[in-house]
């Protein structure tokens, strides 16, 4: 806080010896020591209060974060799995019956044999065949040369 080095302290000591008589010097030194002690205690107390305030501010921010996380993690209290299951079962029982297709339509469907590969595709794409070279132009050359 104060920048006192040895040189400055010696100057203050010499001025104090010149101004303060030697018989009052012990009393003055004791008073100065008490004042310096009080200043140090006040500085330490202030620093402690400041640190407590900083910790409290950090705790407040951490508490706010925890409250936000808690609000995000809350489950809706109106969720009742038993009532949901009961409603779904009631709807399934009360739902109209689905009309089955005629037996002739079922007989016309052929089952597909399962493939040895788990995800084999039923669609096979064949690559296009390369174009074939026609032999007609060569035959025409041969007949044209024979005719001459």
Range of the domain at 38: 6-73
Q: Judge whether 16 lies within some domain.
A: yes
Comparison of pLDDT for 84 and 98, the residue scoring more: 84
Distances (CA, A) of 4 to 8, 15, 49: 6, 15, 26
Q: How confident is the model at residue 69 (pLDDT cuts 50, 70, 90)?
A: confident
Q: Judge whether 81 lies within some domain.
A: no
Q: Judge whether 128 lies within some domain.
A: no
66/70 Cα distance (integer angstroms)? 6
Domain tally, the chain: 1
Q: Judge whether 120 lies within some domain.
A: no
Q: Judge whether 36 lies within some domain.
A: yes
Choice among 17-26, 108-117, 125-134 with the minimum mean pLDDT: 108-117
Retrieve residue 88's tokens: 């779904």
Q: Judge whether 102 lies within some domain.
A: no
Length of the chain in residues, anyone? 148
pLDDT of residue 46: 92
- Continuous H helices in the chain: 6-19, 25-73, 81-94, 103-107, 136-147
Q: Judge whether 104 lies within some domain.
A: no
* Mean pLDDT along residues 80-88: 84
Comparison of pLDDT for 84 and 148, the residue scoring more: 84
Q: Judge whether 97 lies within some domain.
A: no
């Amino acid at each position: 806080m104060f920048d006192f080095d040895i040189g400055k302290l010696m100057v203050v000591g010499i001025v104090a010896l010149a101004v303060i008589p030697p018989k009052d010097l012990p009393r003055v030194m004791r008073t100065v020591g008490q004042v310096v002690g009080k200043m140090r205690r006040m500085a330490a107390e202030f620093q402690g209060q400041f640190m407590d305030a900083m910790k409290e501010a950090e705790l407040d921010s951490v508490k706010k974060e925890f409250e936000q996380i808690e609000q995000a993690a809350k489950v809706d209290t109106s969720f009742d799995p038993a009532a949901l299951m009961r409603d779904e079962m009631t709807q399934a029982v009360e739902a109209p019956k689905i009309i089955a297709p005629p037996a002739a339509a079922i007989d016309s469907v052929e089952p597909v044999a399962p493939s040895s590969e788990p995800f084999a595709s039923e669609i096979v794409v064949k690559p296009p065949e390369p174009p074939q070279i026609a032999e007609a132009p060569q035959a025409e050359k041969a007949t044209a040369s024979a005719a001459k």
